[in-house]
Structure 1
Amino acid sequence: MQTILAQYKALLETVDAWFDRCLSRYDDQVSCKRNCSGCCRGLFDISLLDAALLQQGFAELEQQQQENCRSKARSRVQMLRSRWPQFGPPFILNDLPGNEWQRMPEDDQTPCPLLSDTGSCLVYRYRPMTCRLHGLPNIDLSGESFSDDYCTLNFRDIDPLKIPELRWQFRDLFTQEFDLLGAFSERLSGQRRLELDTFIPTALLIDFKRTDWRRAPFGEKGCTS
């Protein structure tokens, strides 16, 4: 399991390298930088693989920091349970009916529980893929668009969707991500799953060691390869 997490962390570092190259080339057009937390609001869904890696970084925090973050995460869970009473450990979103979790309010300004009082990310080296990709459009070298969203503080004078230098091998990236998630879920539950999602706050509350990952409904829903 640790080998898979190490491979995933190495994959995430290639995303950082791409972003850094874009930032270096268009520094005057990109506001996204470390300690910028303007977009770290609301609920972001992440994979279970992201959640496991996030917990590695979380374990490195001081005990009081961990408890402060967990307290904020528990508050978020209470809010979510008012919407989905059945939502509980291990907090797998794919078990919820109707994929409502994919349509969360966009005006939610609740800060991520992993932000410090000064707005910096406490687990920056372990942050999920979505955090690393956010801010720039994700256009493959082939021209295929995986996401044409970008931070409104970036590229105010030019259209980033028309800048070929921002493109990258996103299809290959996501293929590798799914391969690792499939291997991770198979080791965890005995079944290869490509859709296992949770939220960042709930990721802090998942007990990977004590959860019986082979039980239902974990094995009944989600995409298989």
Structure 2
Amino acid sequence: MVDRCAIFRFNGRAMFTNLLQLYTFVDQTMDRLRERFPAEIACGRGCADCCAAVFDVSFIEALFLLAYFRQLPKPDRLEILDHAETALAAWRKLTAGAGDLSTARIRCPLLTAANVCAAYPARPVNCRTYGVPTVINGAAHVCGLSGFDKGQTYFTIQLAPLQQSLLDYSCKLAGAVEGGRRFPIAEVLLHPAPFAAILAK
């Protein structure tokens, strides 16, 4: 299988250098945690619990996902865009009301019928860290399918510094206003105008 992340790197996409380094750091941390907690971490091919979690992504992550998406075969892209329409409608309904984003479920448009991610190498930080205990803004989270026991103390990934780095990369690339925005994945795919000029460079 072609590693499209490598394609970006070697095609001189310097805009993604810091992001790829951050992803490498996160992946290496996750690898160490899998070695340390093999019974507790339930992540595996075909497990898609995280793919229905509701979250948005930073500008730089959105840009990278869109660049990856555009390299997929056209039939795959059309199918993903069809799913994105449904996902974006659900997102807008949820965010327009008083819904709880932390417990809501919306199927990611990048999730295929085989329960695998169509953009797995380009997945954002939230996807990469989902299977282990995390904390941000004082709120802890762990996948409900994992074997981590409530009341026990485990190594916890602090998401705030990672998100701050993503914000810094985004603002450096797109300016404070546009770079400070966050986007649901479905919106990135369906309405790519904010990213078009940068990807065209």
Query: Above 0.5 in TM-score?
Result: yes
SS in 1 for 2:78: helix
What does residue 59 of structure 1 align with?
Answer: 70
Unpaired segments ≥5 residues, structure 1? 85-95, 212-225
AA aligned opposite 1:155: G
Q: 1:112 aligns with which of 108, 114, 127?
A: 108
| CA distance in 1 between partners of 2:139 and 2:148 (Å) | 18
What is the rounded CA distance, in whole Å, between the counterparts of 2:185 and 2:87 in structure 1? 10
Which residue does 2:180 correspond to in 1? 195
Residue 168 to residue 101, structure 1, CA distance change in 2 (3 Å): same
Structure with the higher helix share, 1 or 2: 2
2: CA distance, partners of 1:115 / 1:195: 26
Match of 1:124 in 2: 120
Alignment of 1:203-218 (within 5 A): 203-205=188-190, 206-207=192-193, 208-209=195-196
- How has the CA–CA distance of structure 1 residues 146 and 138 changed in structure 2, closer, same or farther, with 3 Å as cutoff? farther
- Write out the 4+ residue segments of structure 1 that deviate beyond 6 Å after TM superposition: 99-102
Deviation sequence 1:91-133 (CA, Å, 0-9, x none): xxxxx9xx9698448343x421101111001110100111112
Q: 1:42 to 1:134 in 2, by over 3 A?
A: closer
AA of the residue aligned to 1:182:
C
Conservation of the 8 A alpha-carbon contact between 1:35 and 1:121: no
1:135 positional shift: 2.3
Question: Is the 2:60–2:166 Cα contact (8 Å) retained in structure 1?
Answer: no
Q: Structure 2 counterpart of 1:184, which letter?
A: L
Letter in 2 for 1:148: A
Q: Distance in 1 between matches of 2:156 and 2:89?
A: 40
Given the alignment of the two structures, is residue 178 of structure 1 paired with residue 178 of structure 2, yes or no? no
Cα distance in 2, alignment partners of residues 101 and 48 from structure 1: 25
Q: Is it true that 1:150 corresponds to 2:138 in the alignment?
A: no
Deviation at 1:180, TM superposition (A): 0.8
TM-score (norm 2): 0.76
Give 3-state SS (helix, strand or coil) of 1:39's partner: helix
The DSSP-based 3-state class of the residue aligned with 1:148 is strand
Larger radius of gyration, structure 1 or 2?
A: 1
Query: For residue 124 of structure 1, what is the amino acid of its counterpart?
Result: Y
Across the aligned residues of Structure 1 and Structure 2, the Cα RMSD in angstroms comes to 3.2
1:64-75 equivalent positions in 2, closer than 5 A: 64-75=75-86
Matched, 1:45 2:53: no
Residues 10 and 158 (structure 1), Cα distance of their counterparts in 2 relative to 1, 3 Å cut? same
The answer for unaligned runs of 5 or more in structure 2 is 1-11
TM-superposed CA distance for 1:10, in Å, is 1.9
- Confirm or deny: 8 A CA contact 1:146 1:170 kept in the other structure: no
Of 13, 20, 38 in structure 2, the residue corresponding to residue 2 of structure 1 is 13
